[in-house]
Amino acid sequence: MTHSPYFDEDLTLLRDQIRRFVETEITPNGEAWEDAGKVPRDVFAKMGGLGYLGMRYPEEYGGGGLNTLASVVFAEELGRCTFGGFSADVLVHTDMASPHLANVGTPEQLARWMPALTRGEKVCAVAVTEPGAGSDVAGMRTRAVKDGDDWVLNGTKMFITNGVYGDIFFVAAKTDTSAKGSRGVTIFVVEKGTAGFTVGKKLNKTGWLCSDTAELIFDNVRIPSENILGEVNKGFYAIMKNFQNERTVLAAMAMGEASKAIELTLDYVITRPAFGGYLWDRQVIRQRLAERAAQVAAGQQLIYHAAWLDTQGLDCVKQVSMAKAYCGDLVNKVLFDCVQFHGGTGYMRETPVERMSRDARIHAIGGGATEVMLEEIAKRM
């Protein structure tokens, strides 16, 4: 992103490096991962070795000490790979799950788990959503009860990305049943293989096919007190603390997808013969793609500004909510047009825009549905 007030030379170089990695290591292999229904864990190790999995964390834990704009660059370039499931797996690890450890973990917890996460040796997930309650923390039914020096966890989580093949899970549970609404929630670190913790089933999704999404079951899972993340009964605040980062990177991922889809469609319509010329000769097609390109550029600037506000320690809830709502809807509009302009070819499974159109649908739902984001904006008008 040259000549931008938001990106210095280092971030521009980072963007170039990630783009090359995506083009050489990800896009050529994505079809096989879609068929397998998972991203190989050695890919995480490669990314960890390049420093991509801990860019925001302190150097002592294998991080790069960068800021929110680095996460935006990372998410946008991952979005360009055309495989939303891959992007989701990685961004859940880097920007939706591990920040819980980084934000409230004790020095002992950070030393125990963070280096393996930044190196890509372990993959993490966050487990808040439940069957019947969605992401409504106030409706949480998973419970953890104190028993001696341990806690006993019971409940079910749903739609958990990295749920099947993950290693470390940050699990939210109600620990004070007398507390009203979203209060009385605590986050626990639960490791794969803990007795009583099982994957209920791997979920079959419309899109993000190479991302492993699961139902998780906790049946009298005994967790030591040293695995409590943050303060007891204060987990809701920890969850809320990372929402802005999560929504920013999801918006950036969406705009990476949208910009790549426009590029692919432009390449197609310029060379596709039609009506004695090419599709690009049709004014309606040229103008619609131009309009979508302008809208994507606007979405990107909204994201960049929200991320910049965050780097300055300023309140950015309104701007992040705007970015998430606008970009989550826009990527679906862009992909609708891109499929349309590919014609019948765009409806075929071997066409990237077909896959991307399925992957894009979740952007208006996951990480805060568009309607929820609009309410957040309305509160601040």
Residue type, 41: R
Q: Which residues 6+ apart lie within 8 Å of 217 measured at CB?
A: 156, 197, 198, 199, 200
Pairing status of strand 124-127 against strand 168-174: parallel
Q: Which residues 6+ apart lie within 8 Å of 148 measured at CB?
A: none
Q: Which residues are catalytic?
A: 246
Residue 127 near residue 118, CB atoms below 8 Å: no
| Distance separating alpha carbons of residues 251 and 257, to the nearest angstrom | 10
